[in-house]
Amino acid sequence: MKKKNIGIGLLIALTVILLFIIGGLLYWNLSQRQELNEIVEQMAIEKEELQEEYEDLAIQFDGYQQMDIRNDSLQDLLSREQQRVQDLLEELRHTKASNARRINELKQELATVRAVLKDYVRQIDSLNATNARLTEENLQLTQSNSALTQSNQQLTESNTALTETVSRASMLEITSCVLSTLNKNDRKTRIASNVRKLQFDYTIAKNITCTPGMKTLYVRIQDPAGNLMGEAEDKTFEFESGEIGYTAKQEIEYAGEAYSGVCYYTLAEQEIVQNGFYTIDFCCEGNLIGSFPFQIKK
């Protein structure tokens, strides 16, 4: 009888120990599952941020593809890298947030493409500078040859070139422009159907040769179809040898120093923005002083 009681007690003790072990395993399993869910949520956020970075990079490539690079080899390299970005972006969209290894690899790919683009931009700048120098040298050579045969014509051309140089040197130049799309409450929005106002933050470069005083800045915004936004019969200004329309205008006081300003265009009641590439041109005193492409997308 005593041995039987001992056996029952031992069985109960083993059962309790087993229950503790099972409970511990269940608790550990739940903890691991919760931790895994938190990691997946974090990776989902990182995936979304990475996708936005890829989309911004794709827009940069679109902008450079619209430039007149005049170098077929460099143009082909840009096209290949642009396609590479599109392929990686498409892969990222179909990659599960739980696939941390591949997402990290796509991050590294993004850094590599950015470095390649930076090098291409440097080559484009160098190429443009070389073309400008060669063009200038060719112009000087042409003028020198003309001077040997027609001294009077050389004098006339020199005076004309000097006048044009002084005129160009005294022109305003807008060096940067950033677009913001605003809703009816003047808050930033990325939803094209909610856009009611376009905001442009621009910077005018320092130019001590420019005559200081009040300047009228004319803004022309062309939609993806090439139509001038906000066009009206009474909204025209003198440009080169004729009159052209404008979207908006702004009076500024320029003192020769760098100037930062903001201009707005409020859409008409029935007017809506379209998805695609737009162009904004800035004109002042009959000259085009800045032109920038930008994209509005869903």
CA distance 290 to 283: 7
Q: Domains of the chain: which residue ranges?
A: 33-123, 174-296
CA distance 20 to 126: 73
Percent of the chain with pLDDT over 90: 27
Average pLDDT, the chain: 77
Average pLDDT of 47-58? 73
Q: What pLDDT does 105 receive?
A: 80
Q: What is the pLDDT of residues 198-249, one digit of tens each?
A: 999 999 999 888 888 999 999 999 999 999 998 888 999 998 878 999 999 9
The number of beta carbons lying within 10 Å of the beta carbon of residue 92 is 21
Q: What pLDDT does 86 receive?
A: 77
Question: Which of 121-130, 151-160, 229-238 holds the top average pLDDT?
Answer: 229-238
Q: So what CATH class is 174-296?
A: mainly beta
- The better pLDDT of the pair 88, 248 is held by 248
Confidence of residue 118 (pLDDT cuts 50, 70, 90): confident
Distance between terminal CA atoms of the chain? Answer: 83
Q: Is 131 exposed, middle or buried (0-12, 13-18, 19+ CB in 10 A)?
A: middle
Q: What pLDDT does 164 receive?
A: 46
Residue 198: closest CA among 89, 84, 274: 274
Please enumerate in sequence order all residues whose Cβ is within 8 A of that of 158, keeping only pairs 6 or more positions apart, or say none: 143
The answer on pLDDT for 130 being more than 80 is no
Q: What is the pLDDT of residues 166-194, one digit of tens each?
A: 445 568 899 999 999 999 999 999 888 88
Q: What pLDDT does 187 receive?
A: 94
